[in-house]
Amino acid sequence: MAQSSYSAVFNWKELKDLKAAYKTGGLSAVVPLIQKKIHDLTNTELHIAVTGETGSGKSTFINAMRGLQDGDEGAAKTGTTETTMKPTSYPHPNLPTVIFWDLPGIGTTKFPANKYVKQMNFDNYDFFLILSDCRFRENDARLAKEIEKLGKKFYFIRSKIDNDCDSFRKQNKHFDKDKELDKIRKYCIRSLEEQGITSPVFLISHFETNKFDFPELNDTIQSNLDDIKKHVFLLSLPNIALKIIEEKRKDLKDRIWTLATLSGAIGAVPLPGLSMVCDIGILVTAIIDFRKYLGLDDVSLQRLAKTTGKPVRQLKAVVKTPLMGEINEQFVKRLLASATYFTISAIELSLDFIPVIGSIFGAGSSFLMTYKFLHGVLDDLTENAKRVVQAAFDSDFH
């Protein structure tokens, strides 16, 4: 079990490189490789292009994906007419390395379809989201074919599906929602097939990101990303469901291996005082990052409160952890002294199951201290994040 978890952080080539570095240069040769991995985890950029015809809701979608609303600081400008005159970047408020690009609508006089791909610099994006608020047309299919030529992924999104449901409900209060949604999905798929494109279509509402096909869209995007970019995309998702929080917990649990490995490598370097100083710095940074990724920092809580219409004090009231205040070296040292977060069993901590690392670190190393401590921190923050989601969306907490 530990082996597969560890391999999720370092691929087998990286593990082989770690082992080779240790054999030839000892721990001093291992540290730079681990530091590079951590750098990659925190600095890899993900560029997401959002395109489609004018009025399809591109800007609103970008805001929803970042947990923002119209008018929030950093929100994309929305409107009923084309508001985007050039590719405009919108970094994620918590993870600025995740960048959404609002592309001008295709097929206008300023952006004719036959020049659109070159004008929009399609090579720069990792994948594409093609939006429509009705049926997909010839220009959408042409876009998909050009993206396909580049060997990149695209996803068709039928937006504003909540408006359709409201319209159906007004016409017939006993309407069958699932049946009507299935009709819309088949209609969209058929319109694409008529243009020579076979692709699934995701039905979403910008304002109900935990309903319709929004969760499936996020899952599909994530499954098609590789290694670090999959990790980056997951951590960028707004906390709109307990499932997302649990997935983030699993992902951050993998990151703990990397941090603990760095801690262990530094701790074994024979320089007086270096281990404790570096360990504390690693722990301080990790707690702050974990809290942000799980939506428990003040800014994230305020955004969630605004999105769900709940008072922020109501969300904060369910948070029961000492990790919500200022996190500094003195605070972490007090936690270490209290042993509050050292709850991992000896069996789970057996180093025999850890490839490469088990042959490097002993049972009393900084590796174990960091690993145990951050596991306890992550479990604590995860449970509190779930309580916040439950309070925000009035759902049962399990």
Least confident of 116-125, 156-165, 315-324: 116-125
- Structure tokens of 323? 């990790």
Query: What pLDDT shows up at residue 398?
Result: 42
Least confident of 78-82, 139-143, 147-151, 282-286: 78-82
| Domain end call among 187, 211, 233 | 233
- Structure tokens of 259? 């941090």
User: What is the β-pairing status of strands 88-91 and 98-102?
Assistant: antiparallel
Q: Show the domain range for 343.
A: 2-42+240-393
Q: Is residue 398 part of a domain?
A: no
Query: What pLDDT shows up at residue 279?
Result: 75
- Mean pLDDT in residue range 245-269: 84
| Short-list 244, 225, 236, 231, CA closest to 96 | 236
Specify the number of domains making up the chain. 2
Do residues 269 and 36 make contact, with C-beta atoms less than 8 angstroms apart? no
Spatial distance between the Cα atoms of 286 and 360, rounded to a whole number of angstroms: 23
Residues 138 and 267 both lie in one domain: no
Query: What pLDDT shows up at residue 183?
Result: 93
Residues 18 and 75 both lie in one domain: no
pLDDT band at 385 (very low <50, low <70, confident <90, very high): very high
Residues 228 and 256 both lie in one domain: no
The total number of residues shown for the chain amounts to 398
Spatial distance between the Cα atoms of 61 and 217, rounded to a whole number of angstroms: 13
Mean pLDDT for all residues in the chain: 84
Spell out the alpha helix ranges (H) of the chain: 2-7, 12-25, 27-43, 58-65, 113-119, 138-149, 161-171, 177-193, 214-223, 227-236, 242-268, 274-293, 298-308, 312-316, 329-338, 366-393
Spatial distance between the Cα atoms of 257 and 350, rounded to a whole number of angstroms: 13
Residues 63 and 197 both lie in one domain: yes
Q: Is residue 307 part of a domain?
A: yes
| Short-list 45, 69, 46, CA closest to 59 | 69
Do residues 149 and 177 make contact, with C-beta atoms less than 8 angstroms apart? no
Residues 80 and 91 both lie in one domain: yes
| Domain end call among 208, 233, 258 | 233
In terms of average pLDDT, the best of 6-10, 165-169, 330-334 is: 330-334
Spatial distance between the Cα atoms of 153 and 135, rounded to a whole number of angstroms: 20
pLDDT band at 2 (very low <50, low <70, confident <90, very high): very low
pLDDT at 396 over 90: no
Task: Look up the CATH number of the domain holding residue 152.
Answer: 3.40.50.300
Q: Is residue 228 part of a domain?
A: yes
Distances (CA, A) of 143 to 81, 194, 197, 368: 21, 15, 10, 51
Task: Tell whether pTM > 0.75.
Answer: yes
Spatial distance between the Cα atoms of 286 and 350, rounded to a whole number of angstroms: 23
pLDDT in tens, 129-157: 999 998 898 888 988 998 999 999 999 99
